[in-house]
């Protein structure tokens, strides 16, 4: 059974050391309740950051899969496939890791990716580097 990436241990969070036990300030408790309400939405809404930075490989795989659904940009998909391949390999899902690595390689040398990168280079080229200005 695969872990749901949006499932966070609410009970573990609320019983953590952040919670006051002496009847003191309730700011931490309010923060925890707010976090519980926000985090599941964040996990679904921010799969790219979670895919890139999660150390939990099951959550990484689920987030990378969600990220692939949310973008068609080759420059983003290439690193998402790489990250998911690494996580799948760590989980022991060798066939899935190999399939993602093949997609990574295919996108890495895709003419669409090269065209996208050339367009970005031209769009964000500083004025001082424009041809013919001596810079």
Residues 60 and 54: beta-carbon distance below 8 Å: yes
Mean per-residue pLDDT of the chain:
73
- Domain ranges in the chain? 1-45, 46-135
What is the number of helices (H) and of strands (E) in the chain? Answer: 7, 0
Say how far apart CA 130 and CA 121 lie, in whole Å. 11
Query: Is the pLDDT reported for residue 12 higher than 90?
Result: no
The predicted model gives 91-115 an average pLDDT of: 92
The pair of structure tokens assigned to 40 is: 């599941």
Highest averaged pLDDT of the listed ranges 7-21, 78-92, 118-132: 78-92
pLDDT tens-digit readout, 65-101: 999 999 999 889 999 999 999 999 999 999 999 999 9
Residue 112 scores a pLDDT above 90: no
Sequence-separated (6 or more) residues with CB below 8 Å from residue 25: none
Residue among 88, 40, 41, 42 nearest 64 (CA)? 88
* Tokens at 18, concatenated: 């952040």
Cβ atoms of residues 88 and 100 within 8 Å: yes
């Amino acid at each position: 059974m695969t872990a749901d990436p949006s499932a966070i241990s609410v009970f573990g969070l609320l019983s953590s050391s952040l919670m006051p036990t002496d009847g003191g300030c309730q700011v931490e408790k309010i923060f925890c309740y707010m976090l519980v309400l926000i985090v599941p939405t964040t996990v679904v809404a921010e799969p790219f950051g979670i895919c890139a930075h999660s150390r939990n490989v099951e959550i990484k795989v689920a987030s990378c899969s969600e990220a692939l659904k949310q973008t068609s940009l080759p420059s983003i998909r290439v690193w998402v496939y790489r990250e998911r391949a690494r996580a799948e390999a760590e989980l022991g899902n060798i066939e899935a890791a190999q399939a993602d690595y093949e997609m990574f390689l295919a996108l890495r040398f895709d003419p669409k990716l090269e065209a996208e990168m050339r367009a970005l280079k031209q769009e964000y080229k500083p004025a001082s580097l424009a041809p013919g200005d001596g810079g």
